[in-house]
Structure 1
Amino acid sequence: MSNLIADFFSTNRVILLAIYGQAFFTLGLSVALQWRSESRLELARSLPLLAAFGLGSSLAIWADIFIPVQATYVNPEIVQLLRIGQALLFIASFASLLYFGIRLNWSGPRVTWIPWILAGGLSLIVLLLWVRGLPVEQIRLWSERLGRLLFVLPGALLAAWGLRGQAMRISAMRLPEHIVQWLRVAGFTFGFYALAGGVLVPLSSDGETWLDHVTGVPAAVPRAVAGCALALAMIQALTIFRVELQRLVTSMGREQALAADRQRIGRELHDGTIQAIYGAGLMLDNVLHTIQRDPDLAVQELRAVMESLNTTIEDIRRYIHDLSEDEGELAETLGELTNEFRASSNLDVDYRIEGNPPKLPVEVRTNLLQMVREALTNARRHSGADHVDVLLRGDPDVLRLIVADNGRGLPPGGPFRPGGKGIPNLYARARLLDGRVRLLGRPGEGTIVEIEVPYQPSVNGAD
């Protein structure tokens, strides 16, 4: 049986080598393409070494296909030079694997020099033996034996242990669980490769190992299986960089929206609240001068001061509410908001609910509430309206909010005012929620603010 297996793999040796090299080429190329140098993850600093190992190994493996072909066209000296280059390429790729394993576990400068010192020494020995006339096949045999024992065996074991530690760290960061699982798969695969690539050393110049003699299966088979498994596991695990980028973009969006809100509230406090308090102080100072001369006028002025201060108190309450989190359901809090505007202004606010609005996370509810508040504030301050309709409609996969007033409509130049932050805030919050905002209206025909936010009940339905 072992002879039949050996004959099969001998007949298909070129195909096996092509698949073997392709597995490691895919590993190296996928890691190189997915790696992000700007990532803050500890794993990122070691990945270029894994890419170098995969790409270097693939080229050295494919050399066993191309060098025999070249031997029919070039002189033997060139073939010997190519074989020496193949041996040096194997050493460099093996050293990259050892360096990868070390970097996953340690970061000290003294430790990280070990692979390159060993690789440089072994490469120098290879060149000296070649210069002294030792047969190239013997040089390849001994260099591969030493390379696999010195570099591949410890490097693969260190990589397996290091990826286990990386999986534990990433699990603590609450990243998607599939990333952690694929890192563990990669760790187990490196443990298997330590046996297939580090223990199975060649016994003869044709690359045969004890596995060939016992089973007829060449060592390239388990190594190719390990390479394919590593490529698949790392491709899946390195989606962590996409998740990291998504989190960064979301965080930046939150920070921008928060900064814009702070600027808006700070400006309004300065231009509105502080000026109102200062004006009330001036009116009280004037009361001191008129209370004895004209008590009736003083009473009127005191009432005006009280009205101004009450308005200021309402503004401050609104600002504080803007900064607090939404504790209730969106439909309920929108009802409270419309009641507040109805009581604190001369607006007739009509609030309606259609469909089945979904249960949303606090962050989504808070952003939607502030967007409606901004639309109502604009209607009260700028539109000259006396009636506003607020509609909350829950459609399949889309939540719609519509705020429509009967005011003077949008100005001819559009809704944006120089220095204004309200409308830009609406668009910023919509982008943060992957939604959109539309402002509709013409002069004298009122303004309509339409907000659409997609949602997935299975995701957004849980707080």
Structure 2
Amino acid sequence: MFWKEIFALNHIIILSIYGQVFFVLGLAIFLQSRRHSRLKLARDLRWLALFGILHGMHEWGQVFIPIQTDYLPAFAVTLLLMAQIFLLAASFAALLIFGYVLVDQPAPALHWLVTGLPAGWLLLALTIHLVGLDNPARVHVLTTAARYFLALPGSLLAARGLYRYSYLIADAHYGRMLRWAAWSLVAYALVAGLIVAPAPFFPANLLHRELLLDWLGVPVEVFRSLVGLVLTISIIRALDLFETEVDRLIEKMEIDGVRASERDRIGQEIHDGVMQGTYSVGLILDSMANHIDNPLASQRLLQAQQVLEQVILGLRRYMTSLRSHPPTGTLDEELMALIGEARFRSLLDISLEIDPAASVEKRSIGHIIGLVQEALSNVVRHAGASQAKVRLALAGDTTRLTIEDNGQGFVIHRVAEGYGLLTMRNHAQLLGGQLTIDSAPDRGTIVCVAWPQAERRHMKSLPTEAEARNG
């Protein structure tokens, strides 16, 4: 088999490619996966990323350590070999943990298995060190043990977890990519967990890398590289799921924002136009009652007044349904509930600081919540930030609310004022304060609203029905 000689001559290149495939797998996950995704898989994949990076470094060690043996003292070579072996074991341990965290409500036995296998390998490494085996024997025993007791169960457990998770995703394309990744891990369990260096015990005496090379003329590293390539492509394609999730979430927030603005606008127009006109008609009818002597006309006038009262009540109920529901809890509770919502918490690390000395009236809570909600929505949609801080503090006789992010910032005078900013200004005015925005490119954004303490402030409010009737 002529290709056997070709592979032998290019063994270093094969090892380099092998390491690169898995290193790219880990790097791609770290760069593309969303830490704040609502999907549990997004967090769990970090273990697979750690496996890829550590495993790639181990394979590169297969290339570089032999080169250094002619230049380094023996103890340094021994240290490098032990570091390489620990990289291999650590990578397989990360794969094992990845499979474990994919399991919903794992059984206690699985927990002990995931804990006991790495601990058993470490105990074996300590025993070999105490026995004092030479480097080749030490590398052989520890590598074989790592593949049998860490790589094999880790690959199968991770494959099972990904396969089951693929059916929990509504999008068929992403589910199919995860199933490809699952089957590639099953193949990896075979070529990396079962096919090891030959040894005088089962199953290494029956199934080993030299036997595969004799049968097919292809080194096992080629198969591991191909399996790793399929795994890498499948996972990278599946990572688009998190981008799609964020896009859909932002789109929904924008739609909800537009709908809320439209509801507020319609409610305000009904109040300022239709309601005021209806009240005026009612006053005119009331004034006519004393000038009509005809009993039938008086009866018709009374009926018209009753119908008009029903229309007014219906309009008020409709206006109430258009407005957002008023907050029912304390300011702390409402703010904690707001920043804990998945639309914000899944995309941002949000910290909350409330000065106990900052007293807030009950009717102010809704405006503060509206300000924070709109500010955080803008951070998610436009800032590209990873962190935000919401702070309510007392400065002298002034209460100050700030929402700060570490996003990309913007040039203030170049941004047109839209519904969101107008909404925040309206909330600030109703608090009796003013809205200021401080931002610059690459410096984040600070939204600040300051208003007098409750006892010094006169809140603006919509007139009641009685007030409107009295002019």
Amino acid at match of 2:190: L
Aligned to 1:202: 197
Does residue 134 (structure 1) correspond to residue 133 (structure 2)? The answer is yes
- How far residue 253 of structure 1 moved from its aligned partner, in angstroms, is 0.8
Map residues 326-405 of structure 1 onto 2, 5 A cutoff.
Answer: none
**Is the 8 Å Cα contact of residues 88 and 123 (structure 1) preserved in structure 2?**
no
Aligned to 2:118: 119
**TM-score scaled by length of structure 1:** 0.60
Aligned to 1:222: 223
**Is the 8 Å Cα contact of residues 95 and 116 (structure 1) preserved in structure 2?**
no
Aligned to 1:46: 44
- How far residue 134 of structure 1 moved from its aligned partner, in angstroms, is 1.1
- How far residue 7 of structure 1 moved from its aligned partner, in angstroms, is 2.8
Does residue 184 (structure 1) correspond to residue 179 (structure 2)? The answer is yes
Amino acid at match of 1:24: F
Aligned to 1:240: 241
Aligned equivalents of 2:192, 2:147: Cα separation in 1: 7
Aligned equivalents of 1:420, 1:240: Cα separation in 2: 34
**Is the 8 Å Cα contact of residues 98 and 154 (structure 1) preserved in structure 2?**
yes
Alignment: residue pair count:
312
- How far residue 123 of structure 1 moved from its aligned partner, in angstroms, is 2.3
- Partner SS state of residue 168, structure 2: helix
Map residues 77-88 of structure 1 onto 2, 5 A cutoff.
Answer: 77-88=75-86
> Could you say if the C-alpha distance between residues 243 and 88 of structure 1 is closer, same or farther in structure 2, counting changes exceeding 3 Å?
same
Aligned equivalents of 2:418, 2:59: Cα separation in 1: 64
Does residue 261 (structure 1) correspond to residue 259 (structure 2)? The answer is no
- Partner SS state of residue 142, structure 2: helix
- How far residue 112 of structure 1 moved from its aligned partner, in angstroms, is 4.4
- How far residue 57 of structure 1 moved from its aligned partner, in angstroms, is 0.5
- Partner SS state of residue 198, structure 2: coil
Aligned equivalents of 2:227, 2:155: Cα separation in 1: 11
Aligned equivalents of 1:81, 1:61: Cα separation in 2: 16
Does residue 25 (structure 1) correspond to residue 23 (structure 2)? The answer is yes
Residues 100-155 of structure 1: per-residue CA shift (max 9 Å, x gap): 12222234484446434422331242144224421122122111212111122222
> Could you say if the C-alpha distance between residues 131 and 78 of structure 1 is closer, same or farther in structure 2, counting changes exceeding 3 Å?
farther
Amino acid at match of 1:237: A
Aligned equivalents of 1:184, 1:253: Cα separation in 2: 33
Aligned equivalents of 1:67, 1:116: Cα separation in 2: 31
**Is the 8 Å Cα contact of residues 130 and 136 (structure 1) preserved in structure 2?**
no
Does residue 286 (structure 1) correspond to residue 287 (structure 2)? The answer is yes
**Is the 8 Å Cα contact of residues 187 and 227 (structure 2) preserved in structure 1?**
yes
**Is the 8 Å Cα contact of residues 58 and 84 (structure 2) preserved in structure 1?**
yes
Residues 411-453 of structure 1: per-residue CA shift (max 9 Å, x gap): xxx9999x988xx9xxxxxxxxxxxxxxxxxxxxxxxxxxxxx
Amino acid at match of 2:257: Q
Structure 1: gaps (5+ residues)? 324-413, 425-463
Does residue 154 (structure 1) correspond to residue 153 (structure 2)? The answer is yes
Aligned equivalents of 1:420, 1:222: Cα separation in 2: 61
Residues 333-366 of structure 1: per-residue CA shift (max 9 Å, x gap): xxxxxxxxxxxxxxxxxxxxxxxxxxxxxxxxxx
Aligned equivalents of 1:60, 1:415: Cα separation in 2: 54
- How far residue 55 of structure 1 moved from its aligned partner, in angstroms, is 0.5
Aligned equivalents of 2:83, 2:284: Cα separation in 1: 92
Aligned equivalents of 1:416, 1:87: Cα separation in 2: 59
- How far residue 204 of structure 1 moved from its aligned partner, in angstroms, is 6.0
> Could you say if the C-alpha distance between residues 261 and 53 of structure 1 is closer, same or farther in structure 2, counting changes exceeding 3 Å?
same
- Partner SS state of residue 238, structure 1: helix
Aligned equivalents of 2:219, 2:105: Cα separation in 1: 37
Structure 2: gaps (5+ residues)? 201-207, 323-415, 427-471
Does residue 64 (structure 1) correspond to residue 53 (structure 2)? The answer is no
Aligned equivalents of 2:115, 2:121: Cα separation in 1: 10
> Could you say if the C-alpha distance between residues 415 and 219 of structure 1 is closer, same or farther in structure 2, counting changes exceeding 3 Å?
closer
**Is the 8 Å Cα contact of residues 16 and 60 (structure 2) preserved in structure 1?**
yes
Amino acid at match of 2:184: T
Amino acid at match of 1:34: Q
**Is the 8 Å Cα contact of residues 100 and 106 (structure 2) preserved in structure 1?**
no
**How large is the Cα RMSD of the aligned pairs?**
3.5
Aligned equivalents of 1:168, 1:145: Cα separation in 2: 34
- How far residue 37 of structure 1 moved from its aligned partner, in angstroms, is 1.4
Amino acid at match of 2:27: L
**Is the 8 Å Cα contact of residues 91 and 123 (structure 1) preserved in structure 2?**
no
**TM-score scaled by length of structure 2:** 0.59
Amino acid at match of 1:249: I
Aligned to 2:327: none
Aligned equivalents of 1:53, 1:240: Cα separation in 2: 21
> Could you say if the C-alpha distance between residues 286 and 239 of structure 1 is closer, same or farther in structure 2, counting changes exceeding 3 Å?
same
- Partner SS state of residue 105, structure 1: coil
> Could you say if the C-alpha distance between residues 282 and 416 of structure 1 is closer, same or farther in structure 2, counting changes exceeding 3 Å?
farther
- Rg bigger for which structure? 1
